[in-house]
Each structure stands twice: as structure tokens, then as C-alpha cells.
Amino acid sequence: MPTPATDGFHMPAEWAPHDRCWMAWPVRAETFLNGLDAARAAYADVAKTIAQFEPVTMICPEGEVADASLSCGKGVEILPMPLSDSWVRDNGPTFVVDGKGGVAGVDWGFNAWGGNYADFQPDTDVARRVMERLGLPRYEAPLIMEGGSFHVDGEGTLLTTEQCLLNPNRNPHLSKSEIEQHLRDYLGVSQIIWLGQGYEQDETDGHIDEIACFVRPGVVLTLTTDDTSDPNYKIFQDNLERLSMARDAAGRELEIVTVRPPARQEYNGVRLTLSYTNFYLANGGVVMPAFEDPADDEAYRIFRKLWPERQVVQVPALDIVRGGGGIHCITQQQPAP
């Protein structure tokens, strides 16, 4: 059976040029216990910010089109589509390119992060519906996985966590080597770097975008903390050690840049996954989170240094994080051909 790799496709890095950004309107009250109004205002803020750099399409149930249109304004396209949740990074398509003008989408199996929610059926069709709307090829992957669980450098290297991809609530019938082969087949990578655990109490079971990402080939941004009493301390130290020993697809040692998360915050007794690695790279811009914490300023300075050629914009993200994710989780880039 043809795969993206056999057809010459690979996933480009997120800093490659985009045609547009995809998002999905908040609709599940169960997800956003602080209220849908607050979540929708936060999503609209992110959408309007990204729209300053590139086109944005917001997927939205038919009955919410008017509200989404008024909230997001004329600069954001609203696309009616059945929807049960609003994390398009995870339930939408992952786009791949062939370097010859071709763009296709990978449709991962989706089971609501290992069965966290029961009524997720509409989200299993989002990737297919998006690709049909675009009129582009779609590859159906034999793997339960979410887009927030991996990050690529566009040159053959993939970063992920054992906690998520090897979790028995995703693909209990597959071995680690079998999962690695699927990643090679559907994302066109050759080198896979495994970190261990993700952010403490992350309901996605350790998505990589909460703890680490590529900045450019050979350079990784990752979370760290000096607080030895924080359960994340050992997690981050182990990940730093793994990154220090890793090599990318080109055989390079990795340059590691660290950023400290904000002070611990809880919501309804659960720790919030406050992470600066959960951001969106737009055409000419970086849309990063702000958490009403003094650490925001230091993170902003780090981002300005990492991306001097891009405009760095901080957007309030607490009302997104209270739903279980961040700016990267609610966005999905569609690369330019």
C-alpha cells in the first residue's frame, strides 16, 4: 500500500512557508470548565493574531458560525463542519509535501487521547473533511496518534515521547519498532529521538509540544526547572540527558536551549501545563503564550533571540490551557507547495 514516504512526501518543518493556519472553534463545555465564552475569546485572539501573518481558517459547527464570525472578524475564514472538540493539531490532518509542488495530508486514527472523552466521533472525520475541502490527497495511517505528540526538523529527524506513543491506550498491538516504521512511512523521517515523560498531569499522556520542540535543524528548545521539589524536575532532567546524547538525521549533536516554565498553577485541583514550547510559528511571526507570570518576560527575551528575523507576539493563553492544551495544540499549519 502506498505511503507518503514511498510517494516522495515528507513533513516539512513548522518554520517552512505556510499557505494557511487551521483552527477549530471551542464547542465542548465539558472541556472548558471556565466557560466557553472565555475559551472562545482566547481562540479568537490567537486567530486574529495569526491572521496578521497568514490566512486562517476556523472550523466551526453550523450553529456557531455567526458567533465565530463576529468574534474572529473579517480576517478569519469560517468553515462550517461537524465538530466535537477544538484541538485541530490533534484531530486534523498532518500535512506533507513532496518538494515538487505537491501537498497531501496524513489522517491519523483518533481516539480522544486514549479515551478521555466518549463523544469524539465527529472529530475522527475532521482530517478527511479538510482534505476533501482542499481537494488534496489523503493518506490514512494505521496508527492512533495526535499531531501534538511529535515534532520534526524537516530534515529527517522526529522528536517524541515514550509516555505518549508507547502508551497502551493508543496502539497496544504495536511494538516500538513498528511504531517507528509507521513514523518513517507517514512522515518521511529517518531518525527518531525518544524523550521519556511529558509534563506532569498532562492529560494527553506526554505530548512533546508541552516540553520540547525544534527551533531549526540541530537546535532544540526544551523546558527546565531548578526546583528539585517539582515533579517535573526529574522529568526535565531525564529529557535533557537524552537530548544531550542524541544525534539528528544528519549526525549532528543537538544544541539545547532551555526555558523555564511559569510558577505552578492549578485549576480544579489539576496542574496546568504552562509551557512556552507550546507556540505557533507563522509566516514571519511567532505567536507565543503569556501566563500572567514574571517568567513571561524572560521567555519573550529568549524567543526574540531565537527568532530575530520574526516578529514575536505574546497572546494571553490561560483560558486555552485551562482546557488542556496551548497555542500549538489549537493550530495546524498547512505548508505552501
Q: Helix, strand, or coil here: 186? A: helix
Active site (catalytic) residues? 329
Cell of 65: 458560525
Strand partners, 1: none
- Cell 527575551 belongs to 301
Q: Helix, strand, or coil here: 306? A: helix
CA-derived radius of gyration, the chain? 18
The helix (H) or strand (E) run that includes residue 114 is helix 112-115
Q: Helix, strand, or coil here: 18? A: strand
Query: Is 282 within 8 Å of 21 (Cβ atoms)?
Result: yes
Strand partners, 198: none
Whole-number Å distance between alpha carbons of 165 and 176: 8
Strand partners, 195: 161
